[in-house]
Structure 1
Amino acid sequence: MDTSTPIVAPAGAERTGAITIVSVPAGHPYVRQTTADPRVSVLPDPVAPGADPAVWWPPAALDPTWIRAHADAASLLHIHFGTESFPPGHLTACLEAAHAVGWPVVYTLHDLEHPQLTDDSGYLAQLDELVTGADAVTTLTVGAARAVRERWRRHATVIPHPSVLPRSAAIEPALGAGRVVGVHLKDLRPSVDGPGTVRALEAALTALRDAGHDVRGEVRLHRRVRDADAAAEVRALCAASAVLDLVEHERFADAELFAALARLDACVLPYRHGTHSGWLELCWDLGVPVAAPRIGFFAEQHADDTVASFAPGDAAELARALAGLWVAPSARPASAARDALVDERRALRAVTDAAIAERHAELYRHLLESRTA
């Protein structure tokens, strides 16, 4: 694969003792947070000639020829996501090329099922290549690590998800008279059950209103979606509901997304399958209580009273989960309690983010020292 101008290690990397890595991808908020330790330097995503520099997929660095050509520019390969477009065997060839040039390989398992694919059989085969071929495997929760051990007989180091909300983000939500429960369906990717989630939410909110709660639901949907039939069904369900408002819009800029989430009394995750959720992490940063379907390991990401689980499609259990989330005074947006909670979590994240980056740096250092020995 021919790519753009050859990449070299940052000036002074050897002099300062920095560990220079190739991360797939590099230009992603999660990667920026986990590689923020001063000992770690990340090569930028290579861009193919004529490609949009903002588009890192499919990752050009995952190519045996590229790896051999840039052997001296880095010392380790860390794969996160973006592999789904490659044919069987390609990733094994990349790992072999990395090992041939002396790079240890780390793989972080974010998803046991691919959220973007209708048929993820190819992705599951890629997991076999990556989990068995990497020198070290990490994941985000104890449950996912247990799944790795049971399926592949590999140990996976658990390193939690870092913060998503930027430290500089200014959040000024408006407080309405009644409660607002939101569900963001985005572009209806395969892992999202739009109609099923809307039906359950409509029934749950109706039951809560009957019990005396002043509450409405806000269903958000991108104007451009992947499943037109599901979008039509969502529109019909919302049009026929007395408790749901449908808002269709273009994809939000970050500041718009933060503001839309921060005004919610609770956010319902709409997934039919999944492993971990960055959306849940953003809500946690914003102090927004989350009702998450009891799938994957969402409940393990934050074991506190602001994350509640329900069986997918179970309206009665969803209603109980929402009512339970509202017991805490911080559940109300634009309240002093919510503001205090956000400040508390920002302070905590500053500490845990630094620890997460340090754990990555120590893992890289250990692998490189083991290679040298």
Structure 2
Amino acid sequence: MPITLLPIPAQHPYVRAIRPENGWEDFVVLGDPVVDPADPARWWPHPALEPEWWEEHDADVVHLHFGFEHLGVAGTEAFLAALRRRGIPLVYTVHDLDNPHLEDQTDYHRQVALLVDQAAHVFTLSTGAADVVEKRYGRRPQVLAHPAIVREPATAQPGRERAGVFLKSVRGNVVKDPEFYRQLGAEVYLHEDAPVLRDIADHGHAPMDDAELYRAVSAHRVVVLPYVRGTHSGWLRMCRDLGVSVAVPDCGCYASQAADLADPGVRVYRTGDGADAARVVEELLSGWPAEPGRKVVDDEIHDAHRVVYRKVVQSR
């Protein structure tokens, strides 16, 4: 019998990348439910996180990635209790040691503690994150590198000498001080209108499909991640897939994500320091193009997840 897997969410680029493009023949992977008919691509808040959902639905294994912070501690406990009642094992990937959307991390850390403690298996994406999880919560996750985001990597174009900063929105974990961007001297791409940065934006852009985004990113030699907190980054992986070097802040585990792969195309600047970020950009420009370090082997990542899913289901 095939195993029914419920990823939460199913269509996030990372979650799609940890399984083969055509799936596994011995698995049925459930898609994201439509939570808003006016925006059918929106998967949050995922209804499977509510205990009532399990009264009418089933799965053999659940793999939780993102989108649970709205539950709070009590809601997380209720979700875990619903899975226990049904005998459904949980696999949890710690993407966010600190939630990038939240200022106060107290309840979020308590939620992560519950998930790490009660999951049948825990993954994370870097040794740095595994060290933090082990220290905070007393359990060491299995480390698997971030899989490739760009299925067919393109060669980066010579393009502009300047760096680029892409801001889909000015979220809680993004530097909001315009002086940071002025010091950086980067081209700023701003999707959603944000008065605090409007005057320094070089480009306003509508939502891009993948092909448009890859063209825009690969027109630069360097991209800067302007974060003040966070853990890992799909943008970091995407840029390196495209041959673009990346300047990352010294917060979170962005440096560890690259160091695990011995990637010379990623360098670290002091968080929030535009002048230091500009220095790192110049270093990356002078060394561009940077050859990738240890190759991410997607087949190994796919197989590791498949093995864990089978193991936890067999141990029910």
| Length-normalised TM-score, structure 1 | 0.76
Provide, for residues 15-65 of structure 1, a one-character-per-residue CA deviation record: whole Å limited to 9, x for no partner: xxx322111111222212213252433112233585643221110111223
Amino acid aligned to 1:250: A
1:199 aligns with 2:179: yes
Q: Which residue of 1 aligns with 2:215?
A: 259
SS, match of residue 137 in structure 1: strand
| Cα deviation, residue 257, structure 1 | 1.2
1:219 aligns with 2:164: no
| Cα deviation, residue 266, structure 1 | 0.8
Structure 2 CA distance, aligned partners of 1:128 and 1:153?
9
Preserved contact between residue 204 and residue 315 of structure 1 (Cα < 8 Å): yes
Q: Which residue of 2 aligns with 1:29?
A: 13
| Cα deviation, residue 354, structure 1 | 1.3
| Cα deviation, residue 269, structure 1 | 0.7
1:162 aligns with 2:147: yes
Structure 2 CA distance, aligned partners of 1:234 and 1:325?
25
1:55 aligns with 2:42: yes
| Length-normalised TM-score, structure 2 | 0.88
Preserved contact between residue 171 and residue 258 of structure 1 (Cα < 8 Å): no
| Cα deviation, residue 278, structure 1 | 0.9
> Given the alignment, which residue of 295, 301, 315 partners 2:251?
295
Structure 1 CA distance, aligned partners of 2:204 and 2:40?
29
Q: Which residue of 2 aligns with 1:328?
A: 287
Q: Which residue of 2 aligns with 1:93?
A: 78
1:186 aligns with 2:168: yes
Preserved contact between residue 149 and residue 155 of structure 1 (Cα < 8 Å): yes
1:115 aligns with 2:100: yes
Structure 1 CA distance, aligned partners of 2:131 and 2:18?
22
Mapping of residues 1-373 of structure 1, within 5 Å: 14=1, 18-36=2-20, 38=24, 39-48=26-35, 52-71=39-58, 74-167=59-152, 173=157, 175-176=158-159, 179-195=161-177, 198-205=178-185, 217-224=186-193, 231-236=194-199, 238=200, 246-303=202-259, 304-330=263-289, 348-349=295-296, 352-371=297-316
| Cα separation, partners in 2 of 1:51 and 1:317, compared to 1, 3 Å | closer
Amino acid aligned to 2:267: A
| Cα deviation, residue 84, structure 1 | 2.0
Structure 2 CA distance, aligned partners of 1:100 and 1:125?
22
SS, match of residue 212 in structure 2: helix
Preserved contact between residue 36 and residue 42 of structure 2 (Cα < 8 Å): no
| Cα separation, partners in 2 of 1:50 and 1:286, compared to 1, 3 Å | closer
Structure 2 CA distance, aligned partners of 1:48 and 1:306?
39
SS, match of residue 128 in structure 1: helix
Preserved contact between residue 267 and residue 288 of structure 1 (Cα < 8 Å): yes
SS, match of residue 133 in structure 2: helix
Structure 2 CA distance, aligned partners of 1:152 and 1:260?
40
Structure 2 CA distance, aligned partners of 1:313 and 1:28?
28
Preserved contact between residue 68 and residue 97 of structure 1 (Cα < 8 Å): no
Amino acid aligned to 1:96: A
Q: Which has the larger radius of gyration?
A: 1
Preserved contact between residue 45 and residue 61 of structure 1 (Cα < 8 Å): no
Amino acid aligned to 1:34: I
| Cα deviation, residue 308, structure 1 | 0.3
Q: Which residue of 2 aligns with 1:334?
A: none
Structure 2 CA distance, aligned partners of 1:135 and 1:150?
19
Q: Which residue of 2 aligns with 1:11?
A: none
| Cα separation, partners in 2 of 1:54 and 1:157, compared to 1, 3 Å | same
**Structure 1: any 5+ residue segments left out of the alignment?**
1-13, 206-216, 225-230, 239-244, 332-340
Moved more, 287-296 or 245-254: 245-254
Structure 2 CA distance, aligned partners of 1:310 and 1:170?
27
Structure 1 CA distance, aligned partners of 2:242 and 2:13?
17
Amino acid aligned to 1:113: D
| Cα deviation, residue 247, structure 1 | 1.2
| Cα deviation, residue 305, structure 1 | 1.2
Identity of aligned residues (%): 39
Preserved contact between residue 247 and residue 277 of structure 2 (Cα < 8 Å): yes
SS, match of residue 361 in structure 1: helix
SS, match of residue 115 in structure 1: coil
